Structure 1
Amino acid sequence: MSTPPPRLSPTELAAYFAFTEVSSLLRHAVEKQLRDVGKLSYVQFQLLARLGDAPDGSQRMTDLADGVVYSRSGLTYQAQSLEERGLVTRGPSPEDERSTIVAITDEGRDVLAKVFPGHIEAVKTHLFESLSAGDVEMLARVMGQVSGHLRAEPPRSAGGRRRKSN
């Protein structure tokens, strides 16, 4: 006798579809604002925002990749684009030459200052406007719980590199 395939309940299915729709619609609105005001991709904005929040304005590339859940090679390309615009610098870590440190520049901070007001307005308008304060608290709790569950397994970028067998 075979086991029936796993299924989602109607409520789980509705929650999943609502989540993916909200995520897509919100990301589209946020990305448009970031492109229009700062000529930034969503990942570039995340990279600059994380660097802007770092105490010394810098982080290891691997930590950035894990934080934004992006591949190391993809993030290297995004960091290179930002470096060409003068928004970040990249260099070897003083503690470990194999690690690359990315640091935000004054120009990068200026771009963040330019995009943040519109970014915050887009998030408030598109995500929080239709919710009560209690709804926002519940959303934060639920999404924090899901994020913690998903982060229990390290992101792919955090795993060790596999060597090809000959």
Structure 2
Amino acid sequence: MTTRWLTPEEQRAWRAYIAATLLLEDAIDRQLQQEAGMPHMYYSILSVLSETPECRLRMTDLAEQLKITRSRLTYAVARLEKDGLVRREGCPSDKRGSIAVLTDEGMTVLERAAPGHVETVRAHLFDHLAPQQVAQLEEIFTEVAQALQSDEAGSTPEDVPWRRRSPKSCS
């Protein structure tokens, strides 16, 4: 098999992508650590739970949505549970499974952290893009994500979790 090396244009695009994603993730993590005392991953867990019916989600589904391993999620949820932000409940349909539930305290922490987080994302990403570039960014990364998830049969843009989210309250 012959290696298909990146063209100079592809190499520049790849390196720009790597630099931007690392710098953006670092900026988001720093902001959340300073203002909310938690890493981006923990914020993401609280955020996903806040957007689900009754603010609860089976741990395996939560790991899938966040694109992390179950063991990494278990560790993070244990920490959030210790802080009173999340609780775990047994899964009634599967005794081996568990459900992560956002607590009222977790929702309060999320609501306090969200404005600073959104401002950081806006300042470091969206404020540098024209509206057409935002649409292109969504199109590009939706396509990449779908290609990476191609083993899931029949995936359409509407099937991509982040395309169908809308904020909900836990009450």
TM-score bracket relative to the smaller structure: 0.7 to 0.9
1:76 aligns with 2:65: no
Quick check: which has more Rg, 1 or 2? 1
Q: Where does structure 1 lack aligned partners over 5 or more consecutive residues? A: 155-166
Name the counterpart of 1:99. Answer: 97
Which residue in 2 is equivalent to 1:149?
Answer: 147
Alignment-mate amino acid for residue 30 of structure 1: I
Q: 1: CA distance between counterparts of 2:127 and 2:9?
A: 24
**SS at 1:97 equivalent:** strand
Give deviations 1:90-139, integer Å, cap 9, x for gaps: 02111211111000000000111011101110011101111111111111
Match of 1:62 among 60, 63, 67: 60
Counterpart in 2 of 1:130?
128
1:153: Cα distance to partner? 3.5
How far the C-alpha of 1:45 sits from its partner, in A, is 1.0
Whole-Å Cα distance in 1 between the matches of residues 2 and 99 of structure 2? 50
Supply the distance in 1 between the matched residues of 2:53 and 2:41 (Cα, whole angstroms): 20
For 2:151 and 2:38, the matched residues in 1 are separated by 30
Task: Quote the residue 2:83 is aligned against.
Answer: 85
List per-residue Cα deviations over 1:43-85 (Å, max 9, x = no partner): 1111111000001100011111111111111110100000000
Question: How many residues in Structure 1 have an aligned counterpart in Structure 2?
Answer: 152
What secondary structure sits across from 1:90 in the alignment?
strand
Matches within 5 A, 1:38-53: 38-53=36-51
RMSD of Structure 2 on Structure 1 (CA): 1.1
CA deviations 1:12-57 (Å, max 9, x no partner) are 1111111111100110110011111111111111111100000110
2:160 maps to what in 1? none
Structure 1 residue 142 displacement after superposition = 0.8
1:29-40 alignment to 2 at 5 Å? 29-40=27-38
Structure 1 SS opposite 2:92: coil
Alpha-carbon distance, 1:5 to partner: 2.4
1:96 maps to amino acid: D
More displaced, 34-43 or 81-90? 34-43
Deviation at 1:4, TM superposition (A): 4.0
Superposed displacement of residue 6, structure 1: 2.0
**Partner residue, 1:163:** none
Tell me which amino acid in the other structure corresponds to 1:109: M
Match of 1:158 in 2: none
